[in-house]
């Protein structure tokens, strides 16, 4: 796998998006001309406004599908079969989006035109991506400038950084050599080839003599304090510096530099904290939850009436749950159990199948109606109000009761760092059939890989699970 700095890789992904737009436009024009020249019964013509709208929707659809399935992440490293398969998947799904637009706006599009559009797009995208690695290499060689890097340090960490830089050679990265700090032996470092090692005291003269774009410090954290003069020298010379941060090798948090006023802070975060994306997530939650409440309100009123006439007790079951970072909130559900269900819990503890959570298959406390409500997750609908209030999200780890949280192992408490949700990864993977540790691990997987696209995938995959009632006890 090719390894590059993220900024370099973002440029490559941007290039693939731009070329997608270019080839989609070419495919659209070619498909339109092909259809016009065919001698078929029905005439076909599109206005300039319709063409502009269709091209805009097509470009957005093709790029969205590619991002959704992470196609751009593997174009440079995938084999030919994967590249062709990914392009086919992208073109097929994006064409469906265009067909949906046609249906909504009542365009009279030729089916032959759409077929040619999808086919030409697939051919052009596949052709470019199959040659992308070679074309990018030529472009970097002819038009890009090489980026020369040196490493301060000669230990295992420095060697690992050197190996990654060697892997990044196709992206223009060039490792020039190493600097040995005081106390380390000045001898060549051998990776794929031998690199010269210089005493750190020669840095000033080397910067004046050779072209060095960047210096990476790969040292023991205790030695960084000795590097103040070296950092100052690089700063005055205008040389970019990076510091390998592996002070806590077993911490998997994301790291970034922030500032409190003028004071720099190295920040570790074990949960998503991108404020813009989280704001978009919250906006999506509010809009979809309010729309769902408006649509479902008549049905919810009917369900409430059924609960009232079929069993004693309140229509809405209220319970304290743990939300974001452990905040307590009142959680709402349609009551699916008998009125004294909480008092009966102690007598049923021996039937519990989960290690921490309390879950009983075929729970005897369920009412006849409640069993049906549970199966199709209708009892969860009032939590849409929790979403509107901000206690919950549409997607996130399911909210736990405080007694369960008190029994969490330390690694399991990280699930509290994400706003709890109506649905989650384990809800679409097996729901109540999965054991508690699997729940926890899938919640951590969600937190570590969270994105807006992942939320939409979970929402879309939750719908058939709920409709069919699979996995619910």
Query: Higher-confidence residue: 114 or 261?
Result: 114
Mean pLDDT of 431-460: 87
The answer to whether residues 446 and 342 belong to one domain is yes
**Model pTM score:** 0.64
The pLDDT assigned to 333 comes to: 94
pLDDT band at 3 (very low <50, low <70, confident <90, very high): very low
Mean pLDDT of 65-85: 85
Residue 256 falls within a domain, yes or no?
no
The pLDDT assigned to 236 comes to: 84
The pLDDT assigned to 1 comes to: 40
The answer to whether residues 218 and 341 belong to one domain is no
pLDDT band at 247 (very low <50, low <70, confident <90, very high): low
The answer to whether residues 294 and 429 belong to one domain is yes
The answer to whether residues 311 and 219 belong to one domain is no
The pLDDT assigned to 168 comes to: 79
The pLDDT assigned to 44 comes to: 77
The answer to whether residues 445 and 372 belong to one domain is yes
The pLDDT assigned to 396 comes to: 94
Residue that is last in its domain, among 139, 163, 179: 139
Residue 381 falls within a domain, yes or no?
yes
Residue 25 falls within a domain, yes or no?
yes
SS3 of the chain: the string is CCCCCHHHHHHHHHHHHHHHHHHHHHHHHHHHHHHHHCCCCCCCCCCHHHHHHHHHHHHHHHHHHHHHCCCCCCCCCCCHHHHHHHHHHHHHHHHHHHHHHHHHHCCCCCHHHHHHHHHHHHHHHHHHHHCHHHHHHHHHHHCCCCEEEEEECCCHHHHHHHHHHHHCHHHCEEEEEEEECCCCCCCCEECCCEECEEEHHHHHHHHHHCCCCEEEECCCHHHHHHHHHHHHHHHHHCCEEEECCCCCCCCCCEEEEEEECCEEEEEEECCCCCHHHHHHHHHHHHHHHHHHHHHHHHHHHHHHHHHHHHCCCCCEEEEEEECHHHCEEEEEEECCECCCHHHHCHHHHHHCCCCCCCCCCCCCCECHHHHHHHHCCHHHCCHHHHHHHCCCEEECCCCECHHHHHCCCHHHHHHHHCCCEEECHHHHHCHHHCCHHHHHHHHHHHHHCCCHHHHHHHHHHHHHHHHHCCCCC
Residue 30 has pLDDT above 90, yes or no: yes
Residue 460 falls within a domain, yes or no?
yes
The pLDDT assigned to 195 comes to: 95
Residue 406 falls within a domain, yes or no?
yes
The answer to whether residues 307 and 437 belong to one domain is yes
The answer to whether residues 317 and 218 belong to one domain is no
The answer to whether residues 56 and 198 belong to one domain is no
pLDDT digits (tens, 9 = 90+) for 377-412: 899 999 999 999 999 999 999 999 998 888 888 888
Residue that is last in its domain, among 139, 157, 183: 139
Query: Higher-confidence residue: 449 or 245?
Result: 449
The answer to whether residues 304 and 368 belong to one domain is yes
What percent of the chain shows pLDDT beyond 70?
Answer: 88
Residue 131, domain extent: 6-139
The answer to whether residues 113 and 182 belong to one domain is no
The answer to whether residues 298 and 441 belong to one domain is yes
Residue 1 falls within a domain, yes or no?
no
pLDDT band at 179 (very low <50, low <70, confident <90, very high): very high
User: What is the pLDDT of the chain when averaged over all its residues?
Assistant: 85
Residue that is last in its domain, among 139, 160, 187: 139
Structural domain total, the chain: 3
Residue 69 falls within a domain, yes or no?
yes
Residue 453 has pLDDT above 80, yes or no: yes
Residue 402 falls within a domain, yes or no?
yes
pLDDT band at 417 (very low <50, low <70, confident <90, very high): confident
Mean pLDDT of 59-85: 87
> What is the CATH classification number for the domain harbouring 170?
3.40.50.720
The answer to whether residues 316 and 428 belong to one domain is yes
């Amino acid at each position: 796998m090719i390894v590059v700095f993220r900024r370099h890789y973002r440029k490559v992904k941007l290039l693939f998006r731009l070329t997608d737009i270019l080839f989609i436009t070419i495919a659209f024009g070619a498909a339109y001309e092909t259809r016009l020249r065919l001698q078929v019964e029905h005439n076909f013509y599109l206005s300039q406004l319709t063409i502009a709208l269709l091209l805009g929707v097509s470009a957005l659809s093709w790029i969205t599908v590619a991002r959704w399935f992470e196609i751009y992440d593997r174009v440079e490293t995938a084999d030919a079969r994967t590249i062709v398969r990914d392009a086919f998947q992208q073109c097929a799904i994006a064409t469906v989006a265009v067909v949906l637009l046609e249906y909504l706006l009542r365009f009279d599009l030729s089916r032959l035109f759409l077929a040619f559009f999808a086919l030409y797009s697939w051919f052009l995208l596949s052709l470019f991506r199959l040659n992308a690695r070679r074309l990018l290499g030529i472009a970097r060689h002819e038009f890009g400038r090489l980026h020369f890097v040196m490493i301060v340090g000669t230990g295992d960490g420095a060697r690992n950084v050197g190996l990654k830089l060697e892997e990044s050679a196709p992206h223009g990265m060039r490792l020039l050599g190493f600097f040995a700090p005081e106390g380390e032996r000045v001898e060549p470092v051998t990776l794929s080839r031998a690199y010269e090692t210089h005493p750190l005291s020669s840095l000033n003269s080397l910067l004046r003599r050779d072209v060095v774009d960047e210096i990476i410090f790969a040292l023991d954290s205790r030695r960084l304090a000795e590097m103040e003069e070296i950092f100052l020298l690089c700063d005055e010379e205008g040389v970019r510096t990076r510091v390998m941060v592996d002070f806590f090798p077993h911490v998997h948090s994301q790291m970034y530099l922030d500032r409190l006023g003028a004071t720099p802070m190295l920040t570790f975060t074990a949960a998503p904290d991108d404020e813009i994306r989280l704001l978009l997530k919250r906006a999506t939650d509010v809009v979809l939850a309010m729309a769902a409440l408006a649509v479902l309100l008549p049905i919810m009123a009917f369900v409430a009436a059924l609960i009232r006439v079929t069993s004693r007790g309140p229509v809405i079951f209220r319970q304290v749950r743990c939300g974001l970072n452990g905040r307590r909130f009142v959680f709402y559900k349609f009551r699916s159990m008998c009125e004294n269900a909480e008092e009966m819990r102690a007598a049923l503890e021996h039937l519990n199948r989960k290690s921490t959570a309390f879950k009983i298959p075929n729970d005897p406390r369920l009412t006849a109606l409640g069993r049906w409500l549970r199966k199709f997750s209708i009892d969860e609908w009032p939590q849409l109000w929790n979403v509107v209030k901000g206690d919950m999200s549409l997607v996130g780890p399911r909210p736990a009761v405080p007694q369960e949280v008190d029994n969490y192992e330390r690694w399991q408490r990280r699930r509290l760092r994400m706003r709890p949700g109506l649905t989650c990864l384990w809800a679409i993977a097996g729901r109540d059939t999965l054991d508690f540790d699997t729940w926890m691990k899938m919640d951590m997987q969600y937190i570590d890989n969270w994105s807006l696209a992942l939320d939409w995938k979970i929402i879309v995959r939750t719908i058939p699970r709920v409709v069919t009632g699979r996995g619910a006890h």
